């Protein structure tokens, strides 16, 4: 495997006596993911998913993707949570930070429906006004408010410009095979649709059309991504020894730390392209584990930027933290610090060194400082950012999350807590059926 995990620094912080038991439980947890004997077992379609995506599924995605790429300069991916973060994470990780892909004849991918900000949607309409545009609208339930509101606006824009017939060519819906308002709307309007399998929950759906279609329209080879995920699935199945199974080792390490009072996991990167991988990871673990009054709180930082903001707290604040660092061995480009004859900034000691070496020393120095300050460190090392490695990473985190949730004793595949805000929002907005709740809530916010 291209991904390696290093948990050496956690030893002084954890109770080694429970390690053996946790490993045994993790082996059982991995088994029950395959045998579907644990909690939430009707949402385990993701476990074998990379192997199950077949040639005709991939070809269909590629054909639709190619068509969208040909007819649009801007593609609006509309969705929230699991229907948005995976694609966003992969595209950001693999595109140039300055959108060079646009220059290489890739359309610009923008996102909508992941919040309710009026200015954002208005600015988006301005941005797309004179550009040819298409939309991929994604919602498993087909009833989520944020993407539904955004899609209503985007649909009207597309219909006004291209008519109902043009809209059929420019709008693709990804949703449940039969349920939900989006399915009904898509059928009525005659949109091209893709199905999100019943047994794959939102945050585990990146390797379904939910992630694959937007990633493909961004010009990224989804076959290579899937190959990476498939290889990680094979490297973490029940036949692999616990000591060799990096998903299991990560799940055990974070639960050992949790049991020793480390309640917050900070996911750290040293490469800004991984910002949204962090966001995806936060959703994956936060929504899967944070329930029944339990669960590690997943936080994220972008280093070295955040060493100048959160660094102080991490070094000396409450000792309830541990860090998981994504460490990339090799950048794609090569750039050195130049020599300067005057050396006014006194940086000539770095002259000739690659920026990546400076970044690496920042990473290693930070790790040692944080460990010395009482913040244990898990390192996930990857060789470079490419679709194959990202595919491995996706499956690595999904599998680790499934195992870790079972170690915690929760159902990692539901999200009952998400309904609370929706209920209040509908009640406050006066949706039919929420009248008496609305009255009570309005009293409280007078």
Residues that bind ligand PA5 (CB under 6 A): 80-83, 139-141, 144, 147, 201-203, 287, 415
Nearer to ligand PA5, 147 or 402 (CB): 147
CA distance 426 to 57: 37
For residue 302, give the DSSP letter. E
For residue 262, give the DSSP letter. -
Specify the length of the chain in residues.
446
CB of 88 to ligand PA5, least distance (A): 13
Strand order in the sheet with 171-175: 108-112, 74-78, 133-139, 171-175, 192-195
Nearer to ligand PA5, 205 or 245 (CB): 205
Which among 164, 294, 422, 440 is annotated as catalytic?
422
Cis peptide bond prior to 304, omega within 30° of 0: yes
CB of 218 to ligand PA5, least distance (A): 20
Nearer to ligand PA5, 135 or 268 (CB): 135
DSSP letter string over 148-215? Answer: HHHHHHHHHHHHHHHHHHHHHHHEEEEE-SS-SHHHHHHHHHT-EEEEPPTTS-GGG-TTSHHHHHHH
Nearer to ligand PA5, 42 or 435 (CB): 42
Nearer to ligand PA5, 229 or 268 (CB): 229
CA distance 176 to 430: 27
Q: Which residues pair with residue 324 across a beta bridge?
A: 267, 378
CB of 173 to ligand PA5, least distance (A): 11
How many CB atoms are located within 10 Å of the residue 208 CB?
A: 26
CA distance 390 to 302: 18
> Which whole-number Å values give the CA distances from 253 to 151, 188, 227, 250, in the listed order?
42, 50, 27, 5
CA distance 165 to 191: 10
CB of 89 to ligand PA5, least distance (A): 13
- Catalytic residue at 422? yes
Which among 25, 146, 233, 287 is annotated as catalytic?
287
Nearer to ligand PA5, 328 or 403 (CB): 403
Longest dimension (CA), the chain: 75
CB of 149 to ligand PA5, least distance (A): 12
Contact 40, 411 (CB under 8 A): yes
CB of 405 to ligand PA5, least distance (A): 13
CB of 277 to ligand PA5, least distance (A): 16
For residue 271, give the DSSP letter. S
Q: Which residues pair with residue 325 across a beta bridge?
A: 268, 379
Residue with nearest beta carbon to ligand PA5: 202
CA distance 297 to 322: 10
DSSP-based three-state secondary structure for 333: coil
Which among 308, 334, 342, 419 is annotated as catalytic?
308
Nearer to ligand PA5, 80 or 215 (CB): 80
Instruction: Classify burial at 53, counting beta carbons within 10 Å of its beta carbon; exposed 0-12, middle 13-18, buried 19 or more.
Output: buried
Q: Which residues are catalytic?
A: 287, 308, 422
């Amino acid at each position: 495997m291209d991904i390696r995990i290093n948990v050496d620094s956690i030893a002084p912080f954890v109770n080694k006596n429970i390690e053996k038991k946790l490993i045994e439980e993790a082996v059982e947890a991995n088994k029950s993911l395959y045998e579907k004997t644990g909690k939430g077992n009707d949402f385990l379609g993701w476990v074998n998913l990379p192997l199950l995506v077949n040639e005709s599924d991939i070809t269909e995605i590629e054909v639709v993707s190619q068509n969208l790429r040909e007819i649009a300069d801007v593609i609006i991916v509309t969705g929230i949570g699991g229907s948005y973060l995976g694609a966003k994470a992969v595209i950001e990780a693999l595109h140039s930070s300055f959108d060079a892909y646009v220059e290489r004849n890739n359309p610009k991918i923008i996102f909508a429906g992941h919040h309710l900000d009026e200015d954002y949607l208005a600015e988006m309409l301005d941005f797309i006004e004179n550009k040819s545009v298409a939309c991929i609208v994604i919602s498993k339930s087909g009833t989520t408010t944020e993407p539904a509101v955004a899609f209503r606006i985007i649909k009207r824009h597309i219909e006004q410009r291209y008519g109902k017939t043009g809209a059929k060519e420019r709008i693709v819906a990804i949703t449940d095979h039969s349920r939900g308002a989006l399915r009904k709307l898509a059928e009525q309007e005659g949109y091209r649709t893709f199905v999100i399998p019943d047994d794959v929950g939102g945050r585990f759906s990146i390797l379904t059309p939910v992630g694959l279609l937007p990633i493909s329209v961004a010009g990224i080879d989804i076959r290579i991504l899937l190959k990476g995920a498939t290889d990680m699935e094979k490297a973490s199945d029940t036949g692999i020894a616990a000591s060799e199974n990096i998903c299991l080792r990560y799940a055990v390490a974070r639960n050992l730390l949790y049991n020793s009072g480390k309640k917050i996991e900070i996911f750290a990167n040293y490469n800004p392209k991984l910002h949204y991988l962090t966001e995806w990871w936060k959703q994956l673990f936060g929504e899967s584990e944070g329930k029944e009054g339990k669960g590690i709180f997943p936080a994220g930082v972008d280093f070295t930027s955040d060493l100048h903001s959160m660094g102080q707290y991490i070094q000396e604040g409450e000792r309830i933290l541990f860090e998981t660092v994504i460490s990339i061995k090799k950048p794609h480009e090569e750039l050195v610090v130049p020599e300067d004859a005057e050396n006014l900034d006194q940086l000539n000691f770095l002259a000739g060194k690659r920026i990546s070496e400076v970044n690496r020393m920042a990473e290693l120095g930070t790790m040692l400082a944080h460990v010395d300050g009482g913040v244990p460190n898990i390192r996930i090392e990857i060789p470079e950012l490419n679709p194959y490695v990202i595919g491995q990473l996706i499956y690595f985190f999904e599998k680790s999350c499934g195992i870790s949730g079972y170690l915690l004793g929760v159902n990692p595949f539901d999200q009952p807590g998400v309904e609370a805000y929706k209920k209040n929002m509908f009640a406050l907005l006066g949706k039919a059926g929420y009248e008496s709740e609305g009255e009570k809530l309005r009293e409280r916010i007078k």
